Amino acid sequence: MRLLHTSDWHLGRSLHGVDLTEGLAAYLDHLVDLARQVRPAATLVAGDVYDRAVPPVGAVQLLEESLTRLAELTQVIVISGNHDSATRLGFAAGLMRPEIKLVTRLDQIGRAVEVADPDGGPGALIYPAPFLDAYAAADYFSDQDNPVARSHEAVTAAALGRVRLDLARRGLGGVAGGDPAASDKAADAANRQSRAANGRPATVVMGHAFVVGGAASESERDLTVGGVATVPVGVFAGIDYVALGHLHGPQRIAAPEPQLIRYSGSPLAFSFSETGQTKSTAVVTLGGASPAAELVPAPVPRPLSQVEGMIADLESRRFDDLADHWLRVTVTDPSRPEDLVQRLRRRFPHALVIRHLPSGPALGGPGRPVTAASDPSRVVAEFIEFAGGAPPTEAELGEVGRALEAARRGGEGR
Ligand SMILES: [Mn+2]
C-alpha cells in the first residue's frame, strides 16, 4: 500500500517580499494530480500547514479547497506544526468528514487512524502527533510518579509511550518494544520482518520536530527550549515509517533497518540556503520487508539561484540564463558601483536580494572610537573609505569640508 507524505506548506508565506501563493497553489494542484495517479491509502501532511498562527484569508481558502479536492481521492491526515496555531488549525476537527483528520491536540496522541490497504493487505496504523510545545506537553504528560522533563526529547518519548500503549492494547506490543535503548536491534528487525510476513499492519508515526542528524535550512523557526531542540532517533524505535515535518530539505534520517524515517521537506524553497534542493513529495510504499520512498519532484514556479561577481561581469551576456530566476546577487567591486540596484534590476528583473560585499583585503581593522575630540572631517573620510572601499578623492574631501563648515555655521549654507 502507498502513502503520500508532504509537509511545511507554509501557506501565506512570501519570499523576500514576493507572495508565494501562486506557487503553493500550483504545488497543491500537482499533489491532487499525484493522489489521482498514485491512489494512496492516505496522504500525510506533517505540520506547518500555515506560515503563521493567523493566516491570511487567501491561505485559508487555498487550504479548504485543497483538502476538499484531496478528500475525494484519499484519506487526509494533517498535524499542526510550530508555525500553526493548534486551536485555529484544529477548529471543527470533530465536524469534518471522516476522510479528513486534523490532529492538533495532545489528547489525540496515541489514537490510531486505521487505514485499510486497497490491495487487501493488512493495512496501516497511523499515529499522528502534533508539534509538541515542550512546556505544555511536559505538563500534560507528567503525573506524580512520572514527571516528564521540559525537553523535546522527553515529550516526544512520552508521546511515543502513548503510541506503544495503544499498540500493546491491540496485541502488537512487541512491534515497537517498550525500552528502545535495551532492545536488541538485529533481533528486533528480524522479528518485525517475520511479523510483516505474518500480516500485521504497518506502523506509522507523524511528527513535527527536529530529529538528530537532520540538516537545517535558513527558513525554519528555531525550536530551542532550554538549549535542547533535537530528538534522538531512538525515540521512534520499532515504528516502521516516521513521517516528519519541520526541516525544509527533503531527507532521510539514519535509522536501523528496516525502519524508515524521513522529512518530506517543503514544497517550495523558502530561503536562498535551499537553492540546491529538489523539492518533492514522498510516495511511501509499506508492506514489504521495509518501507520504501520514491521522491516525486514538485513543480518549480521560478528557479532560485545565487550569483556573485564584479558588476561588469554580471552585466555581460554570461549570466543570460539567470534573467528569469529569483536571485541573490552579490557584487564584489572594491567600491560600490554607481546606480547598483537600478542597473542590476534592469539586468535581472527577479533579483530579490542585491548586496555589495567588496572583495579584497579587509579595510583598517577595528575602527577608532569616535569621541567629542575626534576630527569630524577625518571621521567622515574614514566612513567613506569603509563604505566605498576607497579613500575619498581631493574633490570629495573638499565637499566634506564645505559641508562641515556650513554645519558649524548653523546651517546657513555655503
Ligand atoms: Mn516549517
Cα-based distances in Å from 217 to 121, 195, 265, 266: 38, 38, 10, 11
Distance from Cα 373 to the centre of ligand 1, integer Å: 51
Distance from Cα 82 to the centre of ligand 1, integer Å: 7
Report whether pLDDT(214) > 90. no
Question: For residues 324, 330, 333 and 334, what is the CA-based torsion angle, rounded to 10 degrees?
Answer: 170
pTM: 0.83
Report whether pLDDT(209) > 70. yes
Distance from Cα 31 to the centre of ligand 1, integer Å: 18
**Arithmetic mean of pLDDT, 211-235:** 82
Distance from Cα 24 to the centre of ligand 1, integer Å: 14
pLDDT of residue 362: 54
CA–CA dist 109, 103 (Å, integer): 8
| pLDDT band, very low/low/confident/very high, at 413 (cuts 50, 70, 90) | very low
What is the arrangement of strands in the sheet containing 251-253, beginning at the earlier edge strand?
113-115, 124-128, 202-208, 241-245, 260-263, 251-253
Report whether pLDDT(53) > 90. yes
| pLDDT band, very low/low/confident/very high, at 180 (cuts 50, 70, 90) | very low
Phi/psi of residue 355, nearest 5 degrees = -140, 155
Report whether pLDDT(363) > 60. no
pLDDT of residue 226: 55
pLDDT of residue 414: 43
- Per the model's pLDDT, the better-predicted residue between 129 and 221 turns out to be 129
pLDDT of residue 182: 44
Distance from Cα 85 to the centre of ligand 1, integer Å: 13
pLDDT of residue 178: 45
What is the arrangement of strands in the sheet containing 42-46, beginning at the earlier edge strand?
100-103, 75-79, 42-46, 2-6, 280-285, 292-297
Distance from Cα 246 to the centre of ligand 1, integer Å: 4
Report whether pLDDT(217) > 90. no
Distance from Cα 51 to the centre of ligand 1, integer Å: 8
Spell out the SS3 assignment of the chain: CEEEEECCCCECCEECCEECHHHHHHHHHHHHHHHHHHCCCEEEEECCCECCCCCCHHHHHHHHHHHHHHHCCCEEEEECCCCCCHHHHCCCHHHCCCCEEEECCHHHCCCCEEECCCCCCCCEEEEECCCCCHHHHHHHHCCCCCCCCCCHHHHHHHHHHHHHHHHHHCCCHHHHCCCCCCCCHHHHHHHHHHHHHCCCCEEEEEEECEECCCCCCCCCCCCCECCECEECHHHHCCCCEEEEECCCCCEEECCCCCCEEEECCCCCCCCHHHCCCCCEEEEEECCCCCCEEEEEECCCCCCEEEEEECHHHHCCHHHHHHCCCEEEEEECCCCCCCCHHHHHHHHCCCEEEEEECCCCCCCCCCCCCCCCCCCHHHHHHHHHHHHHCCCCCHHHHHHHHHHHHHHHCCCCCC
pLDDT of residue 116: 95
pLDDT of residue 387: 74
Mean pLDDT lowest for which of 62-66, 67-71, 241-245, 389-393?
Answer: 389-393
| pLDDT band, very low/low/confident/very high, at 369 (cuts 50, 70, 90) | confident
Mean pLDDT, the chain, rounded, equals 89
| pLDDT band, very low/low/confident/very high, at 158 (cuts 50, 70, 90) | very high
| pLDDT band, very low/low/confident/very high, at 408 (cuts 50, 70, 90) | confident
**pLDDT tens profile 105-155:** 999 999 999 999 998 999 999 999 999 999 999 999 999 999 999 999 999
CB-based burial label for 127 (10 Å; 0-12, 13-18, 19+): buried
**Arithmetic mean of pLDDT, 246-253:** 96
Distance from Cα 321 to the centre of ligand 1, integer Å: 30
Distance from Cα 209 to the centre of ligand 1, integer Å: 10
pLDDT of residue 181: 46
**Arithmetic mean of pLDDT, 43-56:** 97
**Arithmetic mean of pLDDT, 363-389:** 75
pLDDT of residue 215: 87
- All domains of the chain, ordered by start, with CATH? 2-297 (3.60.21.10), 304-408 (no CATH)
pLDDT of residue 18: 95
Distance from Cα 172 to the centre of ligand 1, integer Å: 33
CB-based burial label for 1 (10 Å; 0-12, 13-18, 19+): buried
Whether the CB-CB separation of 79 and 130 falls below 8 Å is answered with yes
Phi/psi of residue 213, nearest 5 degrees = 105, -15
Phi/psi of residue 281, nearest 5 degrees = -115, 140
Per the DSSP assignment, residues forming a β-bridge with 100 are 76
Q: Which three cell numbers stand for residue 402?
A: 564645505
Distance from Cα 13 to the centre of ligand 1, integer Å: 11
Distance from Cα 258 to the centre of ligand 1, integer Å: 27
CA–CA dist 243, 128 (Å, integer): 9
pLDDT of residue 291: 95
